[in-house]
Structure 1
Amino acid sequence: MRRRDFRFISVALTIATAGTLVGGCSSTSSAQENEAARAVMEFCQSEPPDQALTQALPPGLALPADRLTLGVNPDWDAETLDQFAATTGVAPGVAGSFVQMPLTADDRRRIQSAAEEVAGIGGVLMLTLEPHQGLDAVDDASVQELVELLATLNDSSVPVLLRFAHEMNGSWYPWGQQPQSYVQAFRKVAHAVAEGTSATEMLWAPNYGGGYPFTGGEFAAAGDQTAPASGSPDFEWADTNSDGALTEADDPYEPYYPGDDVVDWVGLTIYHYGGASQWDGNNVPEPDKFAAQLRGAYDGLGGDESGVPDFYARYAEDRDKPMAIPETAAFVTAAADPDLALEVKQGWWRQVYSQDLRTQFPQLRLVNWFNFDKPELESVDLVRWSVTTDARIGDAFGNDLVDSVATAADVVSCPEAPE
């Protein structure tokens, strides 16, 4: 394992070199990657290189097809991408930002600020839209405003992965466990994005299904009941085995899938927590836990979750969709011993960024670390998800990244012209 040197690069050239890489890298025969290669050569052969020739390419091309890309969800109020890179020694290829929908004036400022930082490293912006006013608020006007903003970002050579109303199978958000309304809203946004933007792709990303239907969430209908009211159309959709009850025997994913025609990327929120009876325990993850969760075969600290569907096979492999882990981290409380904190986090990041992960899961293209320290309902102490609060942990994180993990520094320069 080696520490990567990071450097900041031209966003136009980064996007141009996105798909089929030149200068000694392998290429494939897909139409999109051939188009990327042509964009690279046009850019490199112009005198001087003309940025107008490099049209922003979709995120599926902007991330290396044969690598797992390092992403980060930074706490923008506490840390810049430059600071993350300075602490860890690596610049992420993707950075995430969370905003409401409909957008507020503050949200628009946040998006613009994040986009400028992402452009500075030549990366991709993963934008998570949170309709806290409910799915009914996702109306034509709010969608049009969103698309106009995305088009401006794309025209400025900032590709966007758009994650709409994430973790919709959970009971902790106002848009949760409303499968019919969710699917309709997702499709509305997706069609408008496809028509009105040049480099934005839709990411569908439920929460990992272990523990479904997640009773007792903030937005559950009542008490320990989950959100869909019995007898409602949403309940009928969610009750996949038609036994009249919403339980762990029901499918945690399929009722919420919007359709192959509107989903460009599939994703899954997966965190390492403590044991089932000790949510705030600082427990070292078991070997291969992450892979087992992707396959729906996990049986360990969190309890026997081996009945969860194989998400990777069903949605990434069988549908031939690129896959992302848009949020992950390891549960460590602020009161944890520093050595134990390192052991827990290191035990998790060595799984989610392992050398052989691409061999096991070739569709997996992106893993975003959730780099926040924040209160959580599961703990009386502050939870330190971040790898940069402690400089020693940040240094270990950068040193542990293996060669198969792509960062913002992994771009291809223009090949030298033959003599």
Structure 2
Amino acid sequence: MLLNLILLGATASALAPLERTDGKILLGAWYDRNLSDTPSAVNARIGYKPLSFFQTDVDFSGTLKPWTSPQTVIPQFQQQLKDTNTDAIAMLTVYPFQGLGDKISDAQLKDMGDRLNGLVNSGRQVFLRFAPEMNGNWFSYGQDPAGFISTWQRCIKYWRTALGSNVNKVAFVWSPNSGNGYPYPGGESWPNPNSTAKFDLDRIGLMDTNRNGKLDPLDNPYIPFYPGDEYVDWVGISIYHYGIEWPWVNNSIPEPQKFERYITGYPDNGDYFGYFPFYTPFSTPAGATNNITNTKVSSGNKPFIVSETAATYHFAWVDSTTPQATLLQDHTRVEIKEAWWNSFLTQDFISRYPRFQAVCTFEFIKTEELTWRDFSAFGPPPNPSGVNFEAEDQDVANAFARDAKGMGFVAWAKLGATNGTATVTASATGALIDNNKQQSGSGKTEITHIVGALLLAAWIRIMIA
């Protein structure tokens, strides 16, 4: 009995920051702050229960994109979360657009550490996703394994020290892009295969995991970029449904296993789904080994977050002279998007992937490649396209709210001072109204659990002494 209690205490102490033990998952949204969307507006559009976290992004340089500087964004983000009247977690994506290594100053690290403490001291827990999609080549810092790893380790060590007693309220999320399409030839930071520059040759040497002298889809898209278990709290990934076939202009319903195959890898059709698993090496005891150095790079068992996801709906050409009729509209927004979330927001999926603990939708309308794309799932976000389809987007949010009533595995945010989850509606000002004010008694249960846990811990210490 004593041994079991000791093991229980050891397991609890080994939990990652923000890790859950109740079998439920966190559900969040990355909202379009730049075009005036807000967390409160997202919750009101869903009209069911408040989301458990919200994501926004900053340009770490503070100057390349001043409208997304930490000094501008984080105070606004903090206020917008407060306006939800919930305990929603803050998810902060930090882009080092200025580059890696010595291009990040100690002053920048200190400023971010101060701002993280400010968020925590305001009552928020925080996911911090630093330099995401580093295995891609569409960012200036991409496809530089050595530079990324050394920069990640330096930043995380600094911020953990700066956080002090707040360190367990901030989870650092390592989050590459899904491996389908890897190594994504071309792009801003693609290592030129014909280059003789040492920088390119060094990068290719680290990324060429199958040792055939070139970069190709049979190179592992994740392991060369992993900074080590000591420096990672959660692992995450970006997963999207753009369509069934390139060039991604047709509106098609996602295959039922598509989402799952992105995280497991599917060598039978690896060019489409990716050849290598993500969940198994990083979120199960199987762990991950670097076949170049034959060293263990991860012992696995990390909590897993889908850092951003969406099923796209193509509604217009970027080039307005392209004939609109060639966009195939065989399926509605609801059909496409509902099929997507129902492929992973199920009890069966969560039971099979128990380290899957959070997912964040991408709530944007924007241009990519050839088309205007509607990524939203939670109602009509700000729309820069000039095409009006608010009713269709609200239909999607309504469908989600209906489906969510059967999602007992979702951990919703707590509204106001209550300790239970609450049904929410929009007031005249857009703020959320608590429709379940009589749930305050559950606070007594929570206090009882806390007191019991403290007494158990004290008893274990006495028995060991």
- Measure the CA separation in 2 of the matches of 1:334 and 1:225: 39
Among 385, 404, 411, which residue is 2:409 paired with? 404
Tell me the secondary structure at the aligned position of residue 201 of structure 1. Answer: strand
Tell me the secondary structure at the aligned position of residue 333 of structure 1. Answer: strand
Flag the structure with higher helix content. Answer: 2
Equivalent residue number for residue 307 of structure 2: 326
How far apart are 1:228 and its partner, in Å? 9.1
- Measure the CA separation in 2 of the matches of 1:273 and 1:72: 19
Answer whether contact 2:312 2:375 (CA < 8 A) is retained.
yes
**Which structure has the greater CA radius of gyration?**
2
Among 57, 73, 76, which residue is 2:30 paired with? 73
Among 114, 124, 128, which residue is 2:93 paired with? 128
- Report the more deviating stretch, 227-236 or 111-120: 227-236
The aligned amino acid for 1:164 is F
How far apart are 1:100 and its partner, in Å? 0.7
Cα pair distance change 1:320/1:65, threshold 3 Å:
farther
**Superposition pairs for residues 197-346 of structure 1, below 5 Å?**
197=163, 198=166, 199-221=169-191, 232-297=201-266, 304-305=272-273, 308-318=275-285, 319-335=300-316, 337=329, 340-346=332-338
Deviations 1:337-368 (A, max 9, x none): 59622111111011131222210100010000
Among 347, 352, 360, which residue is 1:360 paired with? 352
Equivalent residue number for residue 181 of structure 1: 147
Equivalent residue number for residue 112 of structure 1: 75
How far apart are 1:110 and its partner, in Å? 1.4
Equivalent residue number for residue 454 of structure 2: none
- Measure the CA separation in 1 of the matches of 2:97 and 2:9: 39
Equivalent residue number for residue 163 of structure 1: 129
Equivalent residue number for residue 393 of structure 1: 396
Equivalent residue number for residue 143 of structure 1: 109
Tell me the secondary structure at the aligned position of residue 366 of structure 1. Answer: strand
Q: 5+ unaligned residues in a row in structure 1: which ranges?
A: 1-27, 37-57
Cα pair distance change 1:369/1:299, threshold 3 Å:
farther
- Measure the CA separation in 2 of the matches of 1:166 and 1:322: 17
Tell me the secondary structure at the aligned position of residue 70 of structure 1. Answer: strand
Answer whether contact 2:195 2:201 (CA < 8 A) is retained.
no
Cα pair distance change 1:59/1:121, threshold 3 Å:
farther
Cα pair distance change 1:225/1:276, threshold 3 Å:
farther
How far apart are 1:180 and its partner, in Å? 0.3
The aligned amino acid for 1:109 is T
Report whether the alignment pairs 1:415 with 2:444: yes
- Measure the CA separation in 1 of the matches of 2:12 and 2:161: 21
**Superposition pairs for residues 51-70 of structure 1, below 5 Å?**
59-61=17-19, 65-70=22-27
Deviations 1:279-308 (A, max 9, x none): 1221100112111221112767x95436x2
Equivalent residue number for residue 42 of structure 2: 84
The aligned amino acid for 1:121 is T
Deviations 1:54-105 (A, max 9, x none): xxxx8515x5642011111011233211111111123211110111113356
Tell me the secondary structure at the aligned position of residue 73 of structure 1. Answer: strand
The aligned amino acid for 2:27 is L
- Measure the CA separation in 2 of the matches of 1:64 and 1:94: 17
Flag the structure with higher strand content. Answer: 2
Equivalent residue number for residue 52 of structure 1: none
Q: 5+ unaligned residues in a row in structure 2: which ranges?
A: 1-6, 286-299, 317-327, 381-392, 421-441, 449-465
- Measure the CA separation in 2 of the matches of 1:374 and 1:338: 21
Report whether the alignment pairs 1:384 with 2:389: no
The aligned amino acid for 2:94 is L
Tell me the secondary structure at the aligned position of residue 334 of structure 1. Answer: strand
Report whether the alignment pairs 1:93 with 2:93: no
Tell me the secondary structure at the aligned position of residue 69 of structure 1. Answer: strand
Cα pair distance change 1:174/1:246, threshold 3 Å:
same
How far apart are 1:161 and its partner, in Å? 0.8
- Measure the CA separation in 1 of the matches of 2:229 and 2:14: 23
Answer whether contact 2:156 2:172 (CA < 8 A) is retained.
yes
Equivalent residue number for residue 16 of structure 1: none
- Measure the CA separation in 2 of the matches of 1:225 and 1:324: 37
Answer whether contact 1:217 1:226 (CA < 8 A) is retained.
no
Deviations 1:134-171 (A, max 9, x none): 11422222111111111121122211111110000001
Answer whether contact 1:98 1:127 (CA < 8 A) is retained.
yes
- Measure the CA separation in 2 of the matches of 1:60 and 1:32: 14
- Measure the CA separation in 1 of the matches of 2:342 and 2:204: 39
Tell me the secondary structure at the aligned position of residue 144 of structure 1. Answer: helix
CA RMSD, 1 decimal:
2.8
Answer whether contact 2:88 2:414 (CA < 8 A) is retained.
no
Answer whether contact 1:214 1:226 (CA < 8 A) is retained.
no
Cα pair distance change 1:291/1:35, threshold 3 Å:
closer
The aligned amino acid for 2:341 is W
Cα pair distance change 1:168/1:196, threshold 3 Å:
same
Answer whether contact 2:31 2:363 (CA < 8 A) is retained.
yes
Answer whether contact 2:251 2:331 (CA < 8 A) is retained.
no
Answer whether contact 2:191 2:200 (CA < 8 A) is retained.
no
